[in-house]
A = this chain, B = another copy of it.
Amino acid sequence: LLQIALFLYEDMTALDAVGPYEVLARLPDTEVKFVASTPGPKKTDVGLVLTADSSLDDVPEPDVIVIPGSGKVPFLDDPAAVDWVRQAHEASQWTTSVCTGSLLLGAAGVLEGKRATSHWAVREYLRNFGAEPVSERVVIEGKVITAAGVSAGIDMALALAGYLAGDAEARALQLVIEYDPQPPYDSGSLEKADPETQQRATEVLPRGLGQPVPR
């Protein structure tokens, strides 16, 4: 049984976790654990409550680690989570993040000397952890995969599904979740968005984002 640990925490962004989950939980012979420093309900950054069913100690050696990000607490100051990531990463097949979740990977030393990405609003802070920030949607470095902001977790999970179960299975999962994106606008990355859109997006982001992240 392939064990996937999805890390949940207060003020995280729900879609960062739910995007990868919808793909990975449908892989054959797979179990998904929703882990947290303290199991129970977690209120996400714009209100929806997600529930963690396992403690970090319950899932010490998952095959796949998925760390979602947050629009409120870009840098999660949780030593237990940092320790868990550091130790779980030693035995993992894949260690992954979505959005600002890469900063937690960074804090655990996972990104030292690696190319990595994050939500555009905090991408540069990856340097604090010895990583080289790159503007790519999904960055694969050995067994470490970092994805860009929020929705990028879906693309990341489909790539990961291909590695875990083969291209045919991953293509089937893309069809199951009917992922044939047709956004009505073309402003989904910093490079594509005009200055007005960038300005407004920065205003919409909760205040926590864009703050310096301590080493």
Residue of B nearest to A117 (CB): B178
CB–CB A15/B177 < 8 A? yes
CB–CB A162/B175 < 8 A? no
CB of A204 to closest CB in B, whole Å:
5
A69–B60 alpha-carbon span in the complex (Å): 34
Residue of B nearest to A16 (CB): B22
CB–CB B14/A21 < 8 A? yes
Cβ-based interface call for A176 (8 A):
yes
Contacts of A53 in B (CB 8 A): 49
Query: Which one of B48, B188, B197 lies within 8 Å of A178 (CB-CB)?
Result: B188
CB–CB A138/B182 < 8 A? yes
Task: Report the count of interface residues on A (CB-CB < 8 A).
Answer: 69
A49–B17 alpha-carbon span in the complex (Å): 12
CB–CB B179/A18 < 8 A? no
Residue of B nearest to A175 (CB): B201
Cβ-based interface call for A174 (8 A):
yes
Please encode chain A, from 197 to 211, with 1 for each CB lying within 8 Å of some chain B CB and 0 for all others.
110110111000000
- When A and B form their complex, which 5 residue pairs have the shortest distance between CB atoms, in order from nearest? A180-B188, A149-B178, A181-B181, A172-B200, A25-B46
Q: Chain A: residues with CB nearer than 8 A to chain B? A: 13-15, 18-19, 21-22, 25-26, 32, 34, 41, 46-51, 53, 71, 99, 119-120, 137-138, 148-152, 154-155, 158-159, 162, 167-185, 187-190, 192-194, 196-198, 200-201, 203-205
CB<8 Å pairs between A and B, sample of 14 = A21-B48, A48-B51, A151-B181, A155-B182, A158-B183, A168-B196, A169-B200, A171-B185, A172-B200, A173-B204, A174-B185, A175-B201, A178-B189, A179-B183
